[in-house]
Amino acid sequence: MSHAAPTRTDLACRNCGTQAPLKFCPECGQETTLHPPTLGEFLHEFIGHYVALEGTLWRTLALLVRRPGRLTREYLDGRRRRYVLPLRLYLTASFLFFLVLKLVAGSVTPGMKVLVDGRDMAVAEYQAELAKAAGHAASGAAPAASGARFEIMKADDCGDPGQRACTRLEATLNEAFAHAQENPQEAFAHAREHVLHWAPYAIFVLLPAFAGIMQLAYRNRRMTYGEHFVFSLHLHAFWFVAGLVLVALPEPVVAIGQFAVILYGIWAMRETYGGRWWPTVLRAFFVSTLYAIVLTLAMSAAAIALLATN
């Protein structure tokens, strides 16, 4: 059963009392034509807290994907109302990407492979061989000729006979390595949960670093740090959108998609900052190298924290 739209019976805003003959109050911005709330509105408000649902979203995504760098240029040139704002676009793309990634990741299956002495081995086979090797070592018998070595991986040789004593961190990492080798399924599940939980926050924290690298690469441009940050938000938003596509692509096509993502970044830099192609390519190489170093350091710190909590 449909209900007719409510009609105005007054000309004053019910929120602040200001005269408001139009659709919105000129003082506080509240709608002047109100109706009882519906379940659909509550769902829209809840989902909209995480995802941009405005009608401009599709226009924004189309421009982001089809015209590398143009969305940033539009924002910097003052054309902003027609598109989703950079931070909201980034948060929307990030939320959807990690939501899909969690669904795709699934659970660890018994068919999961581990790399042992240069060859793939099923987890169940690995654990059986590991137990067999441990039994031989305990009895003093020669190990079985399986072609795989089951030496316990360590962060450092400290603590061994003739070696120095381990520091607290080294002892923790050695213990974590041993536990991960003995329980690969549990270790993989823990790592996956840890990564999926913290990755969105880690990437968001690294955004200012990426913007700083962009500012360094284009230090001869008269642009503020905030303008470089807008470019960073748009480029990372595209990376998340591209990630959603790459997840759905068959494996042989993924490499082509990854190459297209690299070309997109170079094109976006030239569109946003201007300049000739070869200097842009060199700047892209400079940015990617520095950012790779930052990511490596961040991932190393995260890996140590993961092992320490394993």
Q: Which residue is associated with the tokens 């449909």?
A: 2
Phi-psi domain of 106 (left: phi exceeds 0; alpha: psi -120 through 50; beta: other): left
CB atoms closer than 10 angstroms to residue 98: 17
Model pTM score? 0.65
Residues 188, 58: Cα–Cα separation, whole Å: 37
Q: DSSP assignment, residue 81?
A: T
pLDDT tens readout for residues 17-31: 777 777 778 778 777
Q: Average pLDDT, whole number, for the chain?
A: 74
Torsion from C-alpha of 277, 279, 284, 286, nearest 10 degrees? 170
Q: What is the mean pLDDT of residues 225-229?
A: 93
CA distance 215 to 228: 6
**DSSP E strands: which ranges in 87-181?**
113-116, 119-122
Tens digits of residue pLDDT in 40-99: 655 555 555 545 555 678 889 999 999 999 999 999 998 888 888 899 899 989 988 888
pLDDT in tens, 149-192: 444 454 455 656 656 666 665 566 566 666 666 555 666 665 66
Are 90 and 270 within 8 A, CB to CB? no
Q: Are 248 and 258 in contact (CB under 8 A)?
A: no
Beta strands in the chain (DSSP E): 113-116, 119-122
The CA angle 217-219-225, to the nearest 5 degrees, is 95
- The amino acid occupying position 307 is L
What is the pLDDT confidence band of residue 224, given thresholds at 50, 70 and 90?
very high
